[in-house]
Amino acid sequence: MINTNASILSYKLTNLCRFGLIMLLFSFVIPTITHAQKKQLTGIVKDTKGAFIPYVNVVLKNEQDFIVAYGRGNEKGAYVLELTDAGSSPKLFIQVSSVGYKKMQQPFVKNQYQYDFSMEEQDNYLSEVKITNRPSVESIGDTLSFDVNSFARSEDRSIGDVIKRLPGIIVAENGQISFNGKQIKNLYIHGDDLMDGRYGLATKVISKEMIKSIDIMEHFQPIKVLKNKVFTDEVAINLVLKNENSLKLGGQAMLGAGLPGQYDAALNAMVFNKKIKALNSIKVNNSGVDLKDDFGQLGNSGFTADIANQKPENILSLGTVGNPDLPKVNYYLNKSNSINTNNLINLNNGLQLKSNAQLFIDRNKLNYSNSLDNYLNGDTIRYREVQFLANKNMLMNAAFTATANKSSYFFNNKLSLGLGGDDANGYLDFNGRGFNQHLNIRNYNLANDFNYTPALANSKNVIDFRWYVSHFNNPQRLNIDAGLNPDQINEGNPYAASMQHLKTPTFFSNVTLAYRIFGEHLIQQTYQIGVVNERQQLTSSIDLVQLDNAVTEYRADVGNDLQWHRDRAFVNAEYSIKRDHWKASVSVPLTGQSIRYQQNEYGLDVQNSRLFINPNANFTLNTGEEDYLEGNYSFNKNFGNITSIYRGAVLANYRTIFANKTDLQEQELSNLRLGYNFKRSIILLFASARINYKRVTANTILSSDLTDNVQRTVLLPFQNNQNTLSLNAEISKFIFALNTTFSASSVVSRSNYNQLINNELYPFENKSLILSAQIESKLFGKLTLSYNGSGFWNTSEQKPVSGTSLNIMSKTRRFNQNVNLGYSPLKNLLIDVSGRHIYGKQANISNINYLFTDVGTRYKVVKWHTDFEFKLSNLANIKTYEIFNLSSNQFYVSRYEIRGRMAILRATFIL
């Protein structure tokens, strides 16, 4: 008799030896008797739907739970167990098991050798993993929960400081959060989307003392009626309150002043509990802090992805140069004011009411000079530009949302209003001629998004109805106080000034109805129908002020008064299947589209009717409890919009004229993506890798005609292909022994494209490599280290073509490094030094080499609940910043006026 308290390993070894001796004895002494007594257990294993379960594990166990015999089923669920003496034990049990199903067993009945099983499916959640040694992390299923107290530091001002150092997390400079290579779709506060996707303010002002844990939720499905039914690949973050039932009040009041003439003030108020959540803020500053980062659209606006409604972009501008590639605080010469309100209430009947509103008013300046050389076959065209720009901005967003998110139905209605405007003035010197400009832009948008998704009463099926409707307009006006390029603008006659007017009012409606079939079917099905309507009108005109102050119209054409109608009707069938280790889905939307655009003055009355299919396929293969391989293929047939077919000239800026000489643009976009996600929660190791190939085939090409003082750009009919191949990899690890988070990433890409300049085709190839690394560490209890560095290598080559000798290749190297060292000699005192080093190198061009250094100190007066902070920025007093670059066939040098040395003292009262 075997001792039941002996180890399983010892027992198995003993059984193995015994079994070997018995088999040896039987094989030589009494083989005929053995053959007579040998028995077999057989059976078939299926699921509750009657489908065979392949490769199940089958064991025969005794009362002590010791294995007597072991076998494995085949691909059709059939198994065979070999027995030497089936009746030697008084009680035996046959047990079957397979990943994704509940274990089952039946008692062995003497002289019965056929046992069939019908196994019930069971969600295959990762077993709970809890790290009790600091730091504390918990992993359950698709949720990874970081204990805030384990990762927080005494110097942290907000929950955002904690999020930045979590392994697997990357936070961009604008506040966008990514986890293991994927951007998070939203940030929730104890399950509620208070910020409506504009979560920048929340991470900056919510105190770490309010939050118990930061939960990373993969494959997140926010709609309860679709939970465990519709698979998603989305990642979200949930900030879990320490006590959801108590009313937690929080707030900050900050006041700062400094030199030269600096001020900074803010008032933030927060209320959080299970029923009520509110976060409201008022801020003003002229110290270079961009308040728009507080309410940038970083995540989904609501529970569902935004409707694909692309609003017309602004066409007119004062210049051709963008902002410098520096942190905005270094060059943003501003006077900014903002109000940001976010309020939510959960009623007892399950209805949630929410309001979000932002108001932003700003005045800023940007002074720069730019030198641009265009290298063409046999010619070089040079543009020299110096501009002093003053801009007034206004932006207002308001949204009112009602939501009921229940297991029986989902209801959501969001009414939103957006207003915006730019009023800019600039003095510009172009190729030695100076003049003034004025640009006025207004944006108006009114939209309503209605969504209703009920589960049917007597089945698990779901109906999904959504209707999105909006109206948008963007009147623009550009005044240039100089008679530039009279040959192109005024039939060769000198004139005094020009005035460009343009607007594109747009009405958009998207109605969809879907029927989702779940139940016990092997393949989940969704059938969707929808109608999309778009109505637009592009109107533009150029008025010219003659030398005698008379105002005349631009005579080269009649301007634009283009009518655009686009109507689409589509049906979509989507099929998805989920098995033990893999998931797959495919959708086949069939779309009928009718586009009509007309303007009688140009003889335009075009009707374009097409029928096309844009298929999409996804799959996910679980290679382990936490690892998975994912892939996607999509094909999209895209068509141009109203801005690609207008015929009248548009003076986009002082030296660029846009027009079109082609029919409707058509593009075919093929995209293939393959990725692998690796995760080891127990040791806080995260990694991912992705490869992506994209090919775009278009029937048009953008053609530029360059002269010494003007660039005329038109869209022409021409077969044009673009190819891009990219590889991305990320890794992040928390090193327990060093209390350090280390992250690294790389991006390798290669692209091919064409440019048509002065009627000559120039093919280009770009190759780039980006490597980056981050370190967040606390050493010896008092010293903190934060490092963020990146390197960029780029090769741009213009390929030679028949009949030309021009062959340009440029190689660029650029390195950005940011280091911050903090030291706490006393409990409530922090001293930190930070530096940003920027280095750039390119052949035959002067190197770029800048070092920006800041120092600061912060002291906390506990009795007053107040932090006093002093910061001295840009110690070297760098006041100009230059960028050199040779890309494609263009070499440009841009010089910017930036902020010099600044000093500011801030006092922050924390409730």
Using CA atoms, how far apart are residues 630 and 691, in angstroms rounded to an integer?
A: 11
CA 598 from chain centre, in angstroms, equals: 38
* CB count in 10 Å sphere of residue 524: 20
Instruction: Name beta bridge partners: 58.
Output: 71, 96
What is the per-residue pLDDT for 4? Answer: 37
Closest among 802, 815, 725 to 773, alpha carbons compared: 815
Long-range contacts of 799-805 (CB under 8 A, 24+ apart): 799/762, 799/763, 799/764, 799/765, 801/760, 801/761, 801/762, 801/763, 804/377, 804/760, 805/377
Burial of 239 (C-beta count, 10 Å sphere; 0-12/13-18/19+):
buried
What is the per-residue pLDDT for 174? Answer: 87
Residue with tokens 């750039």, as numbered in its chain: 840
Using CA atoms, how far apart are residues 772 and 789, in angstroms rounded to an integer?
A: 5
- 3-state secondary structure at position 682: helix
User: What 8-state DSSP symbol labels residue 302?
Assistant: S
Sign of CA dihedral 68, 74, 78, 80: negative
Mean pLDDT, consecutive 10-residue stretches, the chain (911 aa), reads 38 40 34 46 87 85 70 85 60 83 86 88 56 68 89 89 93 91 92 94 93 93 87 90 82 95 96 94 96 91 68 88 88 96 95 97 95 81 92 96 94 96 94 94 96 87 95 96 92 95 96 88 88 96 95 94 96 90 92 95 93 95 90 93 92 91 89 95 93 93 83 84 95 91 96 85 89 92 92 85 64 92 92 94 82 95 93 95 79 91 95 82
What is the per-residue pLDDT for 124? Answer: 53
Burial of 825 (C-beta count, 10 Å sphere; 0-12/13-18/19+):
exposed
Instruction: Name beta bridge partners: 567.
Output: 533, 594
* CB count in 10 Å sphere of residue 59: 19
Using CA atoms, how far apart are residues 747 and 729, in angstroms rounded to an integer?
A: 7
Residue at 560: amino acid letter: N
Long-range contacts of 201-204 (CB under 8 A, 24+ apart): 201/268, 201/279, 201/281, 201/294, 201/295, 201/340, 201/342, 202/159, 202/239, 202/279, 203/158, 203/159, 203/160, 203/163, 203/175, 203/177, 204/158, 204/160, 204/175, 204/294
User: What 8-state DSSP symbol labels residue 114?
Assistant: B
pTM for the complete prediction? 0.81
- Find the farthest-apart pair of alpha carbons in the chain and give their distance in angstroms, rounded: 126
* CB count in 10 Å sphere of residue 219: 16
Task: Note the helical H segments in 739-873.
Answer: none
- Whether the CB-CB separation of 698 and 669 falls below 8 Å is answered with no
- Whether the CB-CB separation of 806 and 377 falls below 8 Å is answered with yes
Output b/e per residue, 352-377; b: 16+ Cβ within 10 A.
bebebbbbbbbebebbbbbebebbee
- Whether the CB-CB separation of 421 and 441 falls below 8 Å is answered with yes
Using CA atoms, how far apart are residues 119 and 56, in angstroms rounded to an integer?
A: 10
Residue with tokens 């079109």, as numbered in its chain: 660
What is the per-residue pLDDT for 67? Answer: 67
Give the 3-state secondary structure of 411-439.
EEEEEEEEEEEEEEEEEEEECCEEEEEEE
Residue at 453: amino acid letter: T
Using CA atoms, how far apart are residues 99 and 519, in angstroms rounded to an integer?
A: 21
Using CA atoms, how far apart are residues 493 and 487, in angstroms rounded to an integer?
A: 7
Using CA atoms, how far apart are residues 113 and 80, in angstroms rounded to an integer?
A: 10
Instruction: Classify strands 235-241 and 186-189 as parallel, antiparallel or unpaired.
Output: parallel
* CB count in 10 Å sphere of residue 70: 12
- Whether the CB-CB separation of 329 and 289 falls below 8 Å is answered with yes
- Whether the CB-CB separation of 575 and 524 falls below 8 Å is answered with yes
Using CA atoms, how far apart are residues 167 and 146, in angstroms rounded to an integer?
A: 10
Structure tokens belonging to residue 695: 């090919």
Structure tokens belonging to residue 388: 């002093």
Angle at 314 between CA 310 and CA 319, to 5 degrees: 145
- Whether the CB-CB separation of 791 and 798 falls below 8 Å is answered with no
- 3-state secondary structure at position 110: coil
Element spanning 21, H or E? helix 8-28
Using CA atoms, how far apart are residues 456 and 222, in angstroms rounded to an integer?
A: 19
- Count of positions (residues) in the chain: 911
- Whether the CB-CB separation of 39 and 70 falls below 8 Å is answered with no
Using CA atoms, how far apart are residues 634 and 386, in angstroms rounded to an integer?
A: 45
Query: Alpha-carbon Rg of the chain, whole angstroms?
Result: 34
